[in-house]
Chains A and B, each alone.
Chain A
Amino acid sequence: MPPSFDPDAALMLRVKQGDTVAFAELVEKYKQPVMNLAYRTLRDATEAEDLAQNVFVQVYKSAARYQTTAKFSTWLFTIARNLCLNEIRRRSRHPAESLDAPHPEQEDQPLQQFEDKKTFSPPESLLQGELEQKIERALAELPENQRSALLLCRQDELSYEEIAEVLGCSLSATKSLIHRGRETLKERLKAYLRSGEWKSPE
């Protein structure tokens, strides 16, 4: 996307000049999707927050290298995913139990209690909570590339071509990752998907 049509690229041009107001604007806009990706990759709220913060610091430090020919969000999510992968590698080298990670005896507990802004009647709320828990677990058990592909696809921010760029693979490989991830989720959530009982009144 040419920079004239990408408002984020225009903001990045200002960041290149050292404009911290423009930078703060970008952080405000993307903090939630970056946190979502980091949290669902690392499954640890504190580490996800540190990583998301580091993503934006990297963005600021690398602003001079940013090419306006690239869409900002593609560049941002590439940095975010690379840092997530580094963290996964670091964990595999130095395995340590995270305080926030669920213990085997707590398997039925949700990963993290989120504030739910929507209001449900108790049975729907219970069903919704149960489903969230199941889907979070099913997502966590997917291979990293399938999970990242699904999460990036979920955000509607990136096109399939841009997701492929973030993942560093071809368009067909990206679609295949999404398809396989979805098939696994469908299998695990079969009961809910069939009944549709989880749906809340909108």
Chain B
Amino acid sequence: MNEFDPSREKSWRKLTTAEEAELRAWLAVHPEARADWESETRLTEILGRLPDAPVPSNFTARVLQAVEREQAAAGRPQRSRRAWFVRLLLPRAAVAAVILGVGILTYHEHEATKRAEVAQGVKVVVGVSSLPSPEILQDFDTIRRMSPTPGPDPELIALMK
């Protein structure tokens, strides 16, 4: 048995001189496989002989330039972010701080006024010497729930006039 590996994928790539010799020996023993092998190796040869795509002579220089541009562009956003902060965000932040300060001052002033009014009310209540006894009001709800009071008597009002 010959050592040459007749697996198909061998024919997909260019054979070494040693492999070619092995192939010839193997095909001598297996002539029925010759047509298939020839077709495979011819295709491999055709694919290998396809012309290269054209590459401009300055390709590498252009790649290096593109890399430099990328690096420059990568540095730019940081600077522009700072500039954006200074130009746009800083004045807005200052205006917002002023508005907030004015708001806090107004609120404190309002609170102080309210506290003074409450103090004034407390002072009035403290000034009252005595309140009527709560017993006076014990039938207040019952009286309020009684049938509605009769309306005004226009004749009586006229006589009284």
Contacts and interface: CB of A to CB of B under 8 A. Distances in A.
Q: Do A and B bind each other?
A: yes
Interface string B36-57: 0011101101111011111110
A189 B43 contact: yes
B13 A114 contact: no
B59 interface: yes
Nearest to B53: A39
Nearest to A129: B51
Interface in A137-184: 150, 153-154, 156, 160, 175, 178-179, 182
A186 B39 CA distance: 8
Interface in A54-78: 54, 56-57, 60-61
Contact of A114 (B40, B54, B64, B67): B54
A82 interface: no
Contact of A136 (B40, B48, B50, B70): B50
Contact of B67 (A60, A198, A199): A60
Given A186-B43, A189-B43, A112 B54 contact: yes
B12 interface: yes
Nearest to A33: B52
B78 to A, nearest CB: 16
A39 B53 CA distance: 7
Interface in B1-28: 8-9, 12-14
Given A182-B43, A189-B46, A160 B9 contact: yes
Contacts of B129: none
A153 B59 CA distance: 25
Interface residues of B, number: 29
Contacts of B46: 131, 135, 189, 192-193, 198
B55 A31 contact: yes
A80 interface: no
A123 interface: no
Interface string A31-60: 110011011100001001100111011001
B53 A35 contact: yes
A98 interface: no
Of A32, A49, A135, A193, most buried by chain B (CB within 10 Å of CB) is A193
A193 B9 contact: no
Contacts of A114: 51-54
Contacts of B52: 32, 35-36, 114
A39 B43 CA distance: 20
Contacts of B70: 57, 60-61
A49 B59 CA distance: 8
A194 interface: yes
A108 interface: no
Contacts of A136: 50
Contact of B12 (A31, A40, A178): A178
A27 interface: yes
Given A23-B64, A182-B43, A199-B45, 10 more contacts: A27-B59, A31-B55, A45-B54, A53-B59, A57-B70, A115-B54, A135-B50, A154-B47, A154-B50, A185-B43
Interface of B: 8-9, 12-14, 38-40, 42-43, 45-48, 50-56, 59-60, 62-64, 66-67, 70
- In the A-B complex, the 8 residue pairs with the smallest Cβ-Cβ separation, listed nearest first, are A39-B53, A114-B51, A56-B63, A35-B53, A27-B60, A193-B42, A60-B67, A154-B47
